[in-house]
Structure 1
Amino acid sequence: MMRRLFKTIQWKMVVIYMLLILLAMQFIGAYFAREVESYYINNFSEALNAQASLLASLLESDLRPRDGKEPSAEQNRQDIDNLINNLVKINGANVQVIDQTGTVVSTTEDKSTIGQRTSQPEVTVALLGTRSESMRIDPRTGARVKVLVLPVKGDQIVYGAVYMMASMEGTYTTIRKMNGILATGTMFALVITAGLGVVLARTITKPIKEMTKQARLVADGDFNSSVRVYSDDEIGQLGMAFNHMTLRLQEAILQQEEEREKLAGILSNMTDGVIAANRNGQIILFNRAAEEMLQVRMADVLRKKRTLADLLSLPPEEEMSLYAQEEPLFIEMRLPNQEEVILRVTFTPLQHDSGKKGGIIAVVADVTEQQRLEQQRREFVANVSHELRTPLTTIKSYVEALLDGAVDEPELSNRFLKVTMSETERMIRLVNDLLQLSRFDSQGVRLHCKEADISRLLRYAADRFSMFSEQQEVQLTVDVPNKLPPVYIDLDAINQVLDNLLSNAIKYTSQGGTVVLSAKENRSQKRVQISISDTGIGIPARDLKRIFERFYRVDKARSRGQGGTGLGLAIARELVQAHGADIEITSEWNVGTTVTFWVPFAQGGNAG
């Protein structure tokens, strides 16, 4: 608690203020104590010197030897005793009078020393004519005393000495009292200084505390309160500047939030994926379209700190060249759901104002379908050109042969004309199929649906191909119940579907093989399922997913030999799907193929 208290500016200012005052008082007190002590000791010494000098001058006549009539020794000693006793009453000093032989003549204390010679060195020095003074500790009382010895002399003759020893404890007691008064004054000054320091510090720290509190509120997003300005001084100006800064910061944050919401709205609604990475290539943002294209979640990518090159499966050598990539980059990659896609990625490097490399923005577009359609378009043009060129070349060859004289040979000319007729019919079928698909693409499939008997329709289709199956020596079998629910279909469209499927099944079944036309109802799904199975050459697994593409053939040479255009299954799928139904193929190479499609019940249709 105390440590946290003294970390505040207010208490730091108070403590510093008190320390300054205390330091000043210490210097003043030390100087004052030294001067007081010097004053009292000097005053004491001067008073003692004055009294000793006076006593020495008064004792000169008593200690000087006389030639005439002299007072008795007893009377002389009595005068000296009276003189020093009166002096003791004045300053309380211990006084001894010593004659020129070093014998104690009179004393104020121990009378037994009278008549004895003194051995004190100060007396010996004084009898030689030199005054002596010193400070010492009285061994009897332990008090500090001042010892002063003056020679008594006249006419440059020393007649004796005055020995004075005065206690200085009174003087030091006075000095201690003075120091005590100074210390007490210092304590009162410190208390008053602390109070003034607290008041002064509060006037400075209170606005700062309010600004600190306001700064925390601003950091938490609260811009509704402001700092109270108490004065026009520097702190008041700081408060006004803080309030202005808060207002400008609020406006800037609101503007930034608006821009962020706009940017987030734009990114969320973009059909292209947008991925942002920092200068190290680590992803920091991408939108919902990018999540859907790449089958990943932004939270997982950010948590794993994946890089742009890692996410797009770029090789290491291309990672450093992204900043120099000017043209879009086409990337083939496999998604987590095992789907293979083609992505077009456009990289836009970001540069700092200083010219240093910043982050990078990648705009991703899924062009898988576009590339597939472009490939199909190229293949379609190539296939149409090939399909038309082949019969035209044949027709041209036979016509040239006829013009060269073959027309004069009836048998040869008839054979050439039959081939020419066959190739012409093939081109007509091809053009009709192309026109039909073109109409489907531009106008959609237009159906004229009505309620129909599917059993009768299937048997009629089988009858149409019975002669063709006999010619191919293929057995055509019909497995259709007599009573099936009525269906809602376009008769011409379904007839065309059956014609294409039965024709393919019979053409691609070897002699002695079997083709089965079957149908069954599915009441739970309210539809009739129609299947055409054969024991023909089958379709390899790799070709099944492309079998409904236009001009796609498993065995191109054999298909052309059978007179096919490569568009039958594509037309069949368009017609079936136009009924809201679907068609699928299952096959096994050299075993056989089954084509299945379904048509919906008529409204309220049920078995008769």
Structure 2
Amino acid sequence: MKKKIRFYQSINTKIVFIIVILLVFALQIIGANFITQIERQLVNNFEGDRQTQITFLESAILPLLEAYESDEDAETDPREQINDLLMEFSGSGITELQVIDTNMVVLGISDSTQQGMLGQISTDADVRSAHLNGDTVTRQVEDAASGRRWKIVEPIFSDAEEPEFLGVVLMESDIEDVYNQIAQITQIFLQSSAVAIVLSLILANMVSRALTKPIKEMQTQTRAIAEGDYSGTLKVYGEDELGQLAFLINELSDEVAEAQESIDSERRRLDSVLTHMTDGVIATDRRGKIVIVNSMAETMLDVTGKEANGRSLLKVLDIEEELTLRQILEEQEDILINGSTMGVPTILRASFSLIQRETGFISGIVCVLHDVTEQEKIEEERKQFVSNVSHELRTPLTSMRSYIEALADGAWEDPELAPRFLEVTQNETDRMIRMIQDLLHLSRIDAGKSELDVELVDITELLDHVLNRFDMLIHSTEYEDKKYNIERHLLDRPAFVEIDTDRMIQVLDNIMNNALKYSPDGGTITGRMRQTEKAVIISIKDEGMGIPKNDLVKIFSRFYRVDRARSRAMGGSGLGLAISKEVVEQHGGRIWAESVEGKGTTFNLSLPYVPFEEDEWS
């Protein structure tokens, strides 16, 4: 934001003010010294002139005083001659002349209006002082009426070898003209100073503008640089300090522009990296307040950047009750937190690292969020799988161990128990072998090593073949205690699909075996087929106890059983449906179940088929 500079704060005003103050100060010193010297010189000249005059007057009056003191008879009275001499000598700035004898009597006076003082004793203190001390008295006298006067009282001595005091001469001169002249000189100086000050103001303003113009241009350019505009270039007016500064600012502008372009490029690259990262990234300041959050982190935490910025990292991650910021700074251990992506709960691993300067000062924290929902799910399934395998293998092994121990303890000698114990042991061994074969099959599928031997097969004929086998099975002695019924709703025409016949028969056998296991006595198993534009759908429905809705999505998991006790009693391992799902998906198909508790379950199998015209096979 541009701050307005007041008039008295500008450099231009300050420079003009300083120059004028310096000039006034210099004029004051020069004027005081000049006028003092002029005054002293004029006063000294005035004193010198008056001293010359009084010396000349003293020479002229000396013989007259000598004659007056000798009392010799003369044609004329010395006092009249003295008085006439004084009246003739007066003028040229001399306001008053007096001659006083040794008895302090006024012998002559130049002022015609004061002739009455002749013969009177003088009361002048300066005359008395000169009379008593024999020294010249010189001083300035101020009179309210006549102004300033210069007063000289000069003692007169004879020219004898031993000078004799004959009297004094008093001279008063008008010195006001000298001071008027000094005042005129002072007034002329002041007028000249005022003119000089005005001219200096104009000159100082011109000089100041010449100095401040480049500075203002630099100010404008630096402000533009601060606002991100690097296009301007300063004009270099010379090679002085300001010119060099302007040149350096131009170079600085170019370097800052290049640096800013590099920073912008790096920022765009960083933004692009953060935007397209599959991990969420959150950066905070040193107080743990969020300053950067990428789009993936927003998605993982179901929060917008506007909502997250400025908030505490602990609060956004919802871990403020479990951890403190200090613990994160000290431990920097990964933690698991709950997230939500598109409304679906997820598990996130939060990794923390510090943003530190070279001095060790911590200026922030970077938190990287990685979606480990699938890994955690796989890990949980692995643990569950290991637990299930251990449990499934332990049960037959425990049973076999019990029968073998009984045989070892002598049951082998019992003709009734021994064959039965050996049969159970053999059945449990066969069960473990089937389970291990199923596990090896799943392992090969997971490793991508299970290859299909596909051929073009009429799936209608294949399903009819499987249903015929199970129709014969339910009428065998094995199921003589139960009554089952198998219904068929097959296509009335061939539907060719590319399948591995053995694998697909294994899938259909698994589904039919489950239907027989869970169907009640007298129940009906229905095999149905239908055809869409791209697939053949096989449905096998039983009338058993059904599967709870919450368990439908889990029945294709390995070792999963809805009713573990009943399934194990019926000899199931929990791998049949898992193998069926993998085999169907290997064929590019899909398998799913629909069920209503108490009314039965329907398994649906969708396989892609190859349409053909009869002419192709004629």
Structure 1 length-normalised TM: 0.74
- Name the CA distance, whole Å, in 1 between partners of 2:92 and 2:497: 152
The reply on whether 1:283 has 2:269 as its aligned counterpart is: no
1:110 to 106, 109, 113: 113
Aligned to 1:151: 155
Tell me if structure 2 keeps the 8 A contact 1:333–1:341: yes
Aligned to 2:616: none
1:334-345 matches, within 5 Å, as 341-345=346-350
- Name the CA distance, whole Å, in 2 between partners of 1:551 and 1:54: 153
Query: 1:557/1:598 Cα in 2 relative to 1: closer, same or farther (>3 Å)?
Result: closer
The reply on whether 1:135 has 2:145 as its aligned counterpart is: no
- Name the CA distance, whole Å, in 2 between partners of 1:15 and 1:472: 124
1:138-191 deviation digits (Å, cap 9, x = unpaired): 1324x2222222334436444443333222221011111212222233333334
1:336-387 deviation digits (Å, cap 9, x = unpaired): 9986543334444344223444544333312121121122123224423433
Structure 2 length-normalised TM: 0.73
1:226 to 233, 245, 258: 233
- Name the CA distance, whole Å, in 1 between partners of 2:71 and 2:98: 26
Query: 1:506/1:436 Cα in 2 relative to 1: closer, same or farther (>3 Å)?
Result: same
Secondary structure at the counterpart of residue 309 of structure 2 = helix
Tell me if structure 2 keeps the 8 A contact 1:229–1:236: yes
**Alpha-carbon shift at residue 10 of structure 1 (Å):** 3.7
Greater Cα shift, 102-111 or 220-229: 102-111
1:244-393 matches, within 5 Å, as 244-304=251-311, 306-307=312-313, 311=317, 313=319, 319-322=325-328, 325=331, 329-333=334-338, 341-391=346-396
1:556 to 548, 556, 564: 564
Tell me if structure 1 keeps the 8 A contact 2:291–2:310: no
1:190-216 deviation digits (Å, cap 9, x = unpaired): 344444434444444333333332222
Secondary structure at the counterpart of residue 310 of structure 2 = helix
**Alpha-carbon shift at residue 28 of structure 1 (Å):** 1.4
- Name the CA distance, whole Å, in 2 between partners of 1:237 and 1:53: 73
Aligned to 2:23: 21
- Name the CA distance, whole Å, in 2 between partners of 1:113 and 1:512: 179
The reply on whether 1:242 has 2:255 as its aligned counterpart is: no
- Structure 1 gaps, min length 5: 482-486, 520-527, 604-608
Secondary structure at the counterpart of residue 93 of structure 1 = strand
Tell me if structure 2 keeps the 8 A contact 1:584–1:597: yes
The reply on whether 1:206 has 2:213 as its aligned counterpart is: yes
- Name the CA distance, whole Å, in 2 between partners of 1:544 and 1:172: 128
Secondary structure at the counterpart of residue 123 of structure 2 = coil
- Name the CA distance, whole Å, in 2 between partners of 1:119 and 1:359: 104
1:482-526 deviation digits (Å, cap 9, x = unpaired): xxxxx99999999999998898799779x9999999x9xxxxxxx
The reply on whether 1:179 has 2:181 as its aligned counterpart is: no
Secondary structure at the counterpart of residue 565 of structure 1 = coil
- Name the CA distance, whole Å, in 2 between partners of 1:138 and 1:410: 172
- Name the CA distance, whole Å, in 2 between partners of 1:472 and 1:72: 199
Secondary structure at the counterpart of residue 118 of structure 1 = coil
- Name the CA distance, whole Å, in 1 between partners of 2:342 and 2:363: 33
- Name the CA distance, whole Å, in 1 between partners of 2:170 and 2:85: 14
Task: Calculate the aligned-residue CA RMSD, in Å.
Answer: 5.4
Tell me if structure 1 keeps the 8 A contact 2:20–2:200: yes
- Structure 2 gaps, min length 5: 490-494, 529-536, 610-618
Aligned to 1:523: none
- Name the CA distance, whole Å, in 2 between partners of 1:488 and 1:51: 159
Tell me if structure 2 keeps the 8 A contact 1:123–1:163: yes
Tell me the matched-pair count: 588
Tell me if structure 2 keeps the 8 A contact 1:331–1:342: yes
Q: What is the percentage of aligned positions where both structures have the same residue?
A: 33
Secondary structure at the counterpart of residue 39 of structure 2 = helix
Aligned-partner residue type, residue 45 of structure 1: E
- Name the CA distance, whole Å, in 1 between partners of 2:121 and 2:602: 156
Query: 1:130/1:429 Cα in 2 relative to 1: closer, same or farther (>3 Å)?
Result: same
- Name the CA distance, whole Å, in 1 between partners of 2:541 and 2:137: 150
Secondary structure at the counterpart of residue 249 of structure 1 = helix
Tell me if structure 1 keeps the 8 A contact 2:334–2:349: yes
